Chain A
Amino acid sequence: MRTDHTDHTEIHVINGIFHQPSDSEVQRWMSSAFNMAIDALENGEVPVGCLLVYNDIVLGKGRNEVNETKNATRHAEMVALDQVLEWCSHRDLDPKEVCKHTVLYVTVEPCITCAAALRLLNVPLVVYGCKNERFGGCGSVLDISSGDLPHTGTSFKCIPGHRAEEAVDMLKTFYKQENPNVANPKVRKECMSPAGGTITTHTEAAPHEDDVKMAVSD
């Protein structure tokens, strides 16, 4: 799953200098992230894919695995971060030191959970496709990426908008096939429940990035 890494990379980890990615790098890694998203789509998962790249080496690749794990936090970013942690543990390296020099390429703006996780691991830069209007943690719902959270790792920068329309189209394709009743008026009403109210989820069918379509049928 992970690509080439040789022993000399450890030198980079220690003396690594962080560079802003060039356009061609962005294109190359984002295209790989889109392939991960397609893989998610083909496996009945929300089509989000990502790569964590350190000095030209892919340390982690991920796509949504929420349905297969029944864990609503198994977003692409979390899956990829686990691979980085494993990579570090094999080399006895401090994950935060490695992440400090790692860029995340992801097809959709990270959600609030993932944005906080990226902060906790000191990832400095996120390149993403489309905005995540429902859950986005890099400005769409909350700005966790640059928020004043001194006990939650370090803030990070974002480069948004790479192949954004394509990323949105994939999400739309997914929701069309998974949720035929998107326009259910009852759903709309429940989505607007007042703060603190309890929402019953079994009737909820609106499209959400992390909407898990499981349990009921198995």
Chain B
Amino acid sequence: MFKMEPETKKRKGMEYDPDSWHVLPVLSDEMSDDVKLLDAYAAPITDKRQTSRLVKDLSVVHPLADLHHIKRVRACKDKSSPHPLEVIVCLVSDVSVPTTFVTQPQRPASLTDLLSSKDFNFEGLGEPFPVRIPARAPLTRPQFEQASRHWPTSFHEDKRVTLGLKGQLFTSRQKAKIQEYMTTAVEAARSGREEGMDAVGAVIVDPKSGQIIAVGHDLTQDHPLHHAVMVCIDLVAWAQGGGVYTYEKHPACRYTASDPQLYAGHSETSGSEENVQPYICTGYELYVTREPCVMCAMALVHSRISSVFYGTASPDGALGTKYKIHCQKELNHHFDVYKGVMRQACEELTPLK
């Protein structure tokens, strides 16, 4: 009844609807946080011909250091306004505001409050009003859109990040491949569960060849530190002629030595830089059913993994939940992390306690 048909392998992973899950990048806090704002004063430019002089003079008195992303002048949002342009006069922190202003915030600050320099030429500048401006350059399109609602800024767009946040970074063919690898991880998790282990599975792939290098699952009943990721890292070591532990009792934990032909071919066709033996997890991708813990996440840094895909978050997870070790600035290696791969199937493996 359950005979293996030739079709089975080809359709592997396809019984799960690839449209039912969305893969999202796990970005650093500075890329995912809301835009921070600074209090500032702006004023209308009542005489357009004075614009460039005003900008020049204002940037001498109040240079707005460290705010190079801020456009000093903006077109007035209100089209019915009698003046088409507005300019930033200064930050609130640039001036010592008179006490009357503090106690009566409804009384607007005057230009003389803000520009104490005696010889400032106020010509063409209207009465100031408070605004809030973005404290630093936006790093993502959502941040840019949010920032722009307050004051215009410059923005150097990373298209991959923009696509990633829209869930459009991967083509449907790539998504099918991701699902295939994650299906293998889910199957490994189930094998582990049958042995009484935690239902967590992991797969390490060499994306250059598409080859699966290692498949592992949780083994914490044997060894309290043998999380699925740690098992996979050791299996990769085995694939490279090293390795520490034996896994004979756990047939679902397995490795394939990476294809030496592939590397031989590289050395002939390309420069010496391409002529590298596989080196720990350099260039490899990890697929794991749930977010790695601190130990495993840092082990992936030590192993120089290139990307991590996981299904569901973990309460002490270190790739998004409690820490973002993959983009921790002080560390010497960083990698991309994507979450939400086959989320439902992964959640069903590890019900929250």
Give me the interface of A with B, judged by CB distance under 8 Å.
68-74, 78, 81-82, 85, 95-96, 111-113, 115-117, 120-121, 134-135, 137, 141-142, 144, 147-152, 191, 193, 195-199, 201-202, 204, 206, 208, 210, 212, 214-216, 218
Instruction: Say yes or no: A120-B295 contact (C-beta < 8 A), given A95-B224, A195-B327.
Output: yes
Asked if B336 contacts A198 (CB within 8 A), the reply is: yes
Asked if B237 contacts A137 (CB within 8 A), the reply is: no
Asked if A199 contacts B303 (CB within 8 A), the reply is: no
Output the nearest chain B residue to A114 by Cβ-Cβ distance.
B295
Tell me if B334 counts as interface (CB < 8 A to partner A): yes
Cα separation A118 to B192 with both chains bound (whole Å): 24
Instruction: Say yes or no: A151-B315 contact (C-beta < 8 A), given A111-B298, A201-B304.
Output: yes
Asked if B336 contacts A196 (CB within 8 A), the reply is: yes
Measured between beta carbons, the chain A residues less than 8 angstroms from B273 are 202
Measured between beta carbons, the chain A residues less than 8 angstroms from B332 are 134, 191, 199, 204, 206, 208
**Residues 215-234 of B contacting A (Cβ, < 8 Å):** 223-225, 230, 233-234
Asked if A195 contacts B334 (CB within 8 A), the reply is: yes
Measured between beta carbons, the chain B residues less than 8 angstroms from A112 are 294-295, 298, 301, 325
Of B52-60, B130-138, B240-248, the one contacting chain A is B240-248
How far, in Å, is A123 (CB) from chain B's closest CB? 12
Specify the main secondary structure of chain B where it touches its partner.
loop
Instruction: Say yes or no: A71-B276 contact (C-beta < 8 A), given A116-B293, A150-B316.
Output: no
Given contacts A70-B243, A70-B280, 10 further A-B pairs with CB under 8 A are A69-B242, A72-B281, A116-B295, A117-B225, A152-B295, A195-B27, A195-B329, A199-B332, A201-B304, A216-B279
Asked if B224 contacts A120 (CB within 8 A), the reply is: yes
Cα separation A120 to B224 with both chains bound (whole Å): 8
Asked if B240 contacts A210 (CB within 8 A), the reply is: no
How far, in Å, is B340 (CB) from chain A's closest CB? 17
Asked if A215 contacts B30 (CB within 8 A), the reply is: no
Tell me if B184 counts as interface (CB < 8 A to partner A): no
Measured between beta carbons, the chain A residues less than 8 angstroms from B27 are 195-196
Contact with A along B309-338 (1 / 0, CB 8 A): 000001110000011011111111111100
Tell me if B278 counts as interface (CB < 8 A to partner A): yes
Tell me if B154 counts as interface (CB < 8 A to partner A): no
Asked if B224 contacts A73 (CB within 8 A), the reply is: no
Output the nearest chain A residue to B234 by Cβ-Cβ distance.
A71
Asked if A121 contacts B224 (CB within 8 A), the reply is: yes
Asked if B28 contacts A198 (CB within 8 A), the reply is: no
Instruction: List 25 A-B pairs, Cβ < 8 Å.
Output: A69-B243, A71-B244, A72-B303, A73-B303, A85-B223, A95-B224, A116-B295, A116-B298, A117-B225, A135-B302, A141-B331, A142-B325, A148-B322, A149-B316, A151-B316, A191-B332, A196-B27, A196-B28, A197-B334, A201-B304, A201-B333, A206-B332, A212-B280, A215-B240, A215-B277
Instruction: Say yes or no: A202-B276 contact (C-beta < 8 A), given A151-B314, A195-B327, A195-B329.
Output: yes
Asked if A201 contacts B279 (CB within 8 A), the reply is: yes
How far, in Å, is B18 (CB) from chain A's closest CB? 25
Asked if B302 contacts A210 (CB within 8 A), the reply is: yes
How far, in Å, is B120 (CB) from chain A's closest CB? 40
Measured between beta carbons, the chain B residues less than 8 angstroms from A152 are 293-295, 316
Cα separation A85 to B315 with both chains bound (whole Å): 26
Asked if B336 contacts A134 (CB within 8 A), the reply is: no
Tell me if B299 counts as interface (CB < 8 A to partner A): yes
Tell me if B143 counts as interface (CB < 8 A to partner A): no
Asked if B280 contacts A195 (CB within 8 A), the reply is: no
Contact with A along B264-281 (1 / 0, CB 8 A): 000000000100111111
Asked if B323 contacts A142 (CB within 8 A), the reply is: yes
Tell me if B153 counts as interface (CB < 8 A to partner A): no
Output the nearest chain B residue to A195 by Cβ-Cβ distance.
B327
How far, in Å, is B215 (CB) from chain A's closest CB? 17
Cα separation A27 to B306 with both chains bound (whole Å): 42
Measured between beta carbons, the chain B residues less than 8 angstroms from A216 are 276-277, 279
Measured between beta carbons, the chain A residues less than 8 angstroms from B230 are 73
Cα separation A70 to B323 with both chains bound (whole Å): 27
Q: Which 5 A-B pairs have the closest CB atoms?
A: A70-B242, A195-B327, A116-B295, A112-B298, A116-B294
Tell me if B31 counts as interface (CB < 8 A to partner A): yes
Cα separation A134 to B242 with both chains bound (whole Å): 25
Measured between beta carbons, the chain A residues less than 8 angstroms from B316 are 149-152
Output the nearest chain A residue to B317 by Cβ-Cβ distance.
A151
